[in-house]
Structure 1
Amino acid sequence: MNANLFALFESRFPADRTACCIETHDELYYTWDDLDRATAKLANLLVALKLPAGARVAVQVEKSPEALFLYLATLRAGYVYLPLNTAYQEAEIDYFVGNAEPSVVVCSSANFGWVSKVAFRHGTAHVFTLDDDRSGSLLARAASHPDKFETVASADDDLAAILYTSGTTGRSKGAMLTHRNLASNALTLHAYWGWRSDDVLLHMLPIFHVHGLFVASHGALLAGAKMIWAPKLDMAQILKFLPRSTVMMGVPTYYVRMLQEPRFDDDTCRRMRLFVSGSAPLLLETFDAFRERTGHTILERYGMSETVMLVSNPYDEAVGERIGGTVGTPLPGVSVRVVDGEANACAVGEIGNIEVKGPNVFKGYWRMPEKTAEEFTADGWFRTGDVGRFGGEIVSHAGARKVPDNYVTIVGRSKDLIISGGYNVYPKEIESFIDEMPGVAESAVIGVPHQEFGEAVVAVVVRKPGSDFDEAAFGAAGFEAKLIGTLKTRIANFKVPKRVHVVNELPRNTMGKVQKNVLRQQFGAL
């Protein structure tokens, strides 16, 4: 049996392949036949390039159906897909391309000048462009290739994708996901969330990370269900398309903004059967307000780049209820344990380190065997770096509520991670950019609570007096604006601090480690 993930999707395509697979926000319609032919042409192009076995295809383009087809074609041709956030700047892309050594890089036409220089400097043989208006050299080259392609046979353990996820050291790690990792998780979610062939997925997530590319897209593809495809969250499109949809996935920011729209009500959701939230903690306030406004209870779940989905609140009420403030129970086939610092199992209600095991857990970090070994226990459990508990209580304005013993609640992260608007932000990476700036002695980056984004990035900076980048030269507001403006040219916008505070020194413990908990108390409000 062919373990190629595309072969699994293809086996679930609807009998009527002239049915609509993707409808776009600007009224384009792609059938399942269109998907099959487009992915065949792109796969034939990739094969014609005579790429080495296991070649990586790195992609940084805006969201479009053609971008999804490129992902599927890469799988179909037996290569490894490497999605890159569209907000990444040159210094970030330089690292990813240098580390992954892709044979093919695909970027937007607007970025071709600098991306191609980076790619060729690192030995990439082929650079193509792909834009969200169905133009670019990739599609032009693929047009002349046949629209039939026999999906390459892949083994369970063959790589399907590499997703980069930064670590607390600031050095990004490439999580290697196999065809089995992705297929097992897609099949589990298909059953657990009750996917149906007549579902309509409103897809407003980006497709460069797990949530939009794997969880959402895989769900619809495996069900043979239609997707309504929009570039990003847009309330006018929510109001237009949600009444025709049955499933929507989003980050908490989406639901906050929906609740801010007076015209969004239960009638807008009249056909909906499932709202899913993930990638960041969902505030109980949002959970309760959404249910009160619409009558729908958001399903919150928990996953990682290294594992796809791990834990989920139930879809089926017969299995259990959806409890705000929790991420639910371990998915079928996935094992989760909570242990203390000595690796002893924690009692119910006791907070500890979350470790997981299952067919969805990644193969390891790209070219980092030591880091891979460090993140797995001797008995094969992956250390997530998250802190949580089974059972216990959820405390809200309505009082304390007991949580069933098999439900997981995430209470924090042992890894120094900020999640802002659903995107992972690693402080050490940002600190390294700030510390390089003239006039900056050192810095510390923290996350502070933010109603819309979950957490906001804040930088605390110690300056070097007398330099051109001195606060005295610009004034406090000018110093902050200059530092933020400089960062916006170097890193993705979601990583750029929303505030910069200047201090004479950073608080440290007796071992010299910066006490970020003290900084969060001091600068915890924007």
Structure 2
Amino acid sequence: MSNANLFCALRAAFPANLDAPAILPADGPDTTHFYSWRDLDQASARIANLLDSLDLPPASRIAVQVEKSVEALMLYLAVLRAGHVFLPLNTAYQDGEISYFVGNAEPAVVVCSGKNFTWVSRIAFLAGTTHVYTLNDDRTGTLLDRASFHADTHEPAQVAATDLAAILYTSGTTGRSKGAMLSHGNLLSNALTLRSYWRWQPDDVLIHALPIFHVHGLFVASHGALLNGSPMIWFSKFDPAAVLARLPEATIFMGVPTLYVRLLGEAGLTPQACSHMRLFISGSAPLLMDTFTEWQRRTGHTILERYGMSETVMLTSNPCLPADGERRGGTVGFPLPGVGVRVHDDQGQPVPTGEIGGIQVRGPNVFGGYWRMPEKTREEFTADGWFKTGDVGRVDVDGYVTIVGRSKDLIISGGYNVYPAEIESVLNDLDGVAESAVIGVPHADFGEAVVAVLVARSGAELDSARLISHLKGKIANFKVPKRVFVVTDLPRNTMGKVQKNLLREQHKALFNPA
């Protein structure tokens, strides 16, 4: 019987020379030494053996809230190896959020940073968790102490492709977070597809500067390098100057749009600095056209933008090779091989090509449902098995997919549908505007009123009344913001997505004061 454990596929891709560099720390306690492939194998074996020694039920949840480190990645590999379910938690989560996740997932083991042990362990023990360990970003903690007494070889647990590998909680910007259940088969199928589609090469080197509690950093980036046997230059925290200095040693960089904006702020970002690079990939949040075009001008490279979700890993991607088409700014490219994408209206009927509707997807990468939420799972899947992403977009006649926004961000003003991304695109093209966020807030006459929140470019002064007047000549009157606010920064989550729920809360009484 073959073993569908994702770890087996990753381990099989390790190079023959296990003493070759696998991960090169770029910051942290020691940047003079590297981790070899043998280190990854043996350390994950020790931790897996520790988990085995606890006599946990099969597929126990292992909740992890720790700072980024190579050891944290080893812990993830060990959880897969032992046949349990990895539950990564954002390092920004606080007491109330951790209480919810631990209560909902009922993990058998919780691993946290040493500095948080007192309050995290209190929550865990009250919820019935038996084992709580610490893991710090300086190679210390009780997890590593206990694991050091165990053997450095381990036979991976036998699992089926449909068995759970990870639960990822959605960001929870509206209502309680939902735990997306991803199987070994979901994750492996997507990793294999991306290895082929993005043309991973034998000499590729990845700069890893993303967090590893999220799909982008943990699955897309880490799986990509591991499944290709490629070394990673490992940043525990993103530093644009430090990343720029390591580009000559790398071939692939993956980042959220914010990281590209910060790199553009470095004077040393030139075609020469990027001459060894093969691929720049962006995701997790929309990439502004200004960033897209300025990156082309400054580096000679065109960013490849792609689209995915916690529930599905990656769904679409702009082409890797010119022969497959252009990397078109403002789009997320084509559906990946094996992935179906369709656009339907609110009544569940397909919309004509090029028209906007709700994006639905299916494929071997699509999750099995939400943890302990069978009714919510049924709501989010169509009768014929397609997952309703909650994203709004269109598929053009040539197959390119464009994301317009989230369905929950849709504004209905005076009976008209207003898509924020359309207005944001116009605003972002105006002189002096660096970035914008368009939201709907309650209005007695219109139901919702359109409001824009802008960030000005350095040195620019924006006049709200003049901007509104200008927009009236560009877009339909019902789309023109009733009010425009200029702020220093837009609120974002850790992956760089603008938190429009916070803006809506801030301005909810603008037209209907209490």
**What band does the TM-score fall into relative to the shorter chain?**
0.7 to 0.9
State the match for 1:469 in structure 2.
none
- TM-score, with structure 2 as normaliser: 0.81
Question: Aligned pair 1:405/2:398, yes or no?
Answer: yes
Q: How far is 1:450 from its partner?
A: 5.3
Check 1:373–1:168 CA distance in 2 against 1; reply closer, same or farther (3 A cut).
farther
Alignment of 1:138-153 (within 5 A): 138-153=143-158
Find 2:278's aligned residue among 254, 273, 278.
273
> What are the superposed Cα offsets for residues 292-311 of structure 1, whole Å, 9 maximum, x if unpaired?
10000000000000000000
Check 1:494–1:141 CA distance in 2 against 1; reply closer, same or farther (3 A cut).
farther
Question: Does the 8 Å contact 2:240/2:259 carry over to 1?
Answer: no
Find 1:337's aligned residue among 303, 318, 342.
342
Question: Does the 8 Å contact 2:285/2:497 carry over to 1?
Answer: no
> What are the superposed Cα offsets for residues 318-358 of structure 1, whole Å, 9 maximum, x if unpaired?
11110000000000000000111121211111001000000
Q: Which runs of 5+ in 2 are unaligned?
A: 411-419, 422-438, 440-448, 458-490
Check 1:88–1:450 CA distance in 2 against 1; reply closer, same or farther (3 A cut).
farther
Deviates more, 1:54-63 or 1:237-246: 237-246
Secondary structure (helix, strand or coil) at the match of 1:302 reads strand
Find 1:90's aligned residue among 66, 89, 95.
95
In 2, the alpha carbon distance for the partners of 1:42 and 1:164 equals: 24
Q: How far is 1:415 from its partner?
A: 2.8
> What are the superposed Cα offsets for residues 176-221 of structure 1, whole Å, 9 maximum, x if unpaired?
0000000000000000001123110000000000000000000000
State the match for 1:355 in structure 2.
360
Question: Does the 8 Å contact 1:116/1:127 carry over to 2?
Answer: yes
Q: How far is 1:506 from its partner?
A: 5.4
State the match for 1:103 in structure 2.
108
Amino acid at match of 1:238: V
Alignment of 1:96-245 (within 5 A): 96-167=101-172, 169-245=174-250
Check 1:280–1:146 CA distance in 2 against 1; reply closer, same or farther (3 A cut).
same
In 2, the alpha carbon distance for the partners of 1:158 and 1:202 equals: 31
State the match for 2:8 in structure 1.
7
Q: How far is 1:493 from its partner?
A: 13
Check 1:54–1:261 CA distance in 2 against 1; reply closer, same or farther (3 A cut).
same
Q: How far is 1:121 from its partner?
A: 0.8
Deviates more, 1:29-38 or 1:404-413: 404-413
State the match for 1:519 in structure 2.
none
Question: Does the 8 Å contact 1:168/1:415 carry over to 2?
Answer: no
In 2, the alpha carbon distance for the partners of 1:332 and 1:493 equals: 27
**Residue identity (%):** 62
State the match for 2:479 in structure 1.
none
Check 1:93–1:161 CA distance in 2 against 1; reply closer, same or farther (3 A cut).
same
Check 1:324–1:169 CA distance in 2 against 1; reply closer, same or farther (3 A cut).
closer
Q: Which runs of 4+ in 1 moved over 2 A?
A: 166-169, 415-419, 446-452, 492-508
State the match for 1:25 in structure 2.
26
Q: Which runs of 5+ in 1 are unaligned?
A: 392-403, 420-426, 428-443, 453-483, 509-513, 515-526
Q: How far is 1:135 from its partner?
A: 0.2
Q: How far is 1:84 from its partner?
A: 0.2
In 2, the alpha carbon distance for the partners of 1:248 and 1:36 equals: 25
Q: How far is 1:494 from its partner?
A: 8.8
Question: Does the 8 Å contact 1:54/1:79 carry over to 2?
Answer: yes
In 2, the alpha carbon distance for the partners of 1:447 and 1:78 equals: 48
Secondary structure (helix, strand or coil) at the match of 1:153 reads coil
State the match for 2:81 in structure 1.
76
Check 1:82–1:240 CA distance in 2 against 1; reply closer, same or farther (3 A cut).
same
In 2, the alpha carbon distance for the partners of 1:502 and 1:138 equals: 46
Check 1:59–1:289 CA distance in 2 against 1; reply closer, same or farther (3 A cut).
same
Check 1:204–1:169 CA distance in 2 against 1; reply closer, same or farther (3 A cut).
closer
- TM-score, with structure 1 as normaliser: 0.79
Q: How far is 1:232 from its partner?
A: 2.0
Secondary structure (helix, strand or coil) at the match of 1:145 reads coil
In 1, the alpha carbon distance for the partners of 2:409 and 2:508 equals: 21
Q: How far is 1:236 from its partner?
A: 2.5
State the match for 1:463 in structure 2.
none
Q: What root-mean-square deviation, in Å, do the aligned CA atoms of Structure 1 and Structure 2 show?
A: 2.8
Check 1:291–1:141 CA distance in 2 against 1; reply closer, same or farther (3 A cut).
same
Secondary structure (helix, strand or coil) at the match of 2:233 reads strand
Question: Does the 8 Å contact 2:241/2:263 carry over to 1?
Answer: no
State the match for 2:464 in structure 1.
none
In 1, the alpha carbon distance for the partners of 2:366 and 2:507 equals: 42
Amino acid at match of 1:379: D
Question: Aligned pair 1:58/2:39, yes or no?
Answer: no
> What are the superposed Cα offsets for residues 332-386 of structure 1, whole Å, 9 maximum, x if unpaired?
0000001111212111110010000000000100000000000000000000000
> What are the superposed Cα offsets for residues 18-77 of structure 1, whole Å, 9 maximum, x if unpaired?
110000014230000000000000000001011111100000000000000000000000
Secondary structure (helix, strand or coil) at the match of 1:156 reads coil
In 1, the alpha carbon distance for the partners of 2:58 and 2:509 equals: 54
State the match for 1:398 in structure 2.
none
Question: Does the 8 Å contact 1:279/1:303 carry over to 2?
Answer: yes
In 2, the alpha carbon distance for the partners of 1:211 and 1:359 equals: 18
In 2, the alpha carbon distance for the partners of 1:23 and 1:87 equals: 26
Q: How far is 1:239 from its partner?
A: 2.3
In 1, the alpha carbon distance for the partners of 2:497 and 2:271 equals: 34
> What are the superposed Cα offsets for residues 228-263 of structure 1, whole Å, 9 maximum, x if unpaired?
000121022112211110000000001111111111
Q: How far is 1:268 from its partner?
A: 1.3
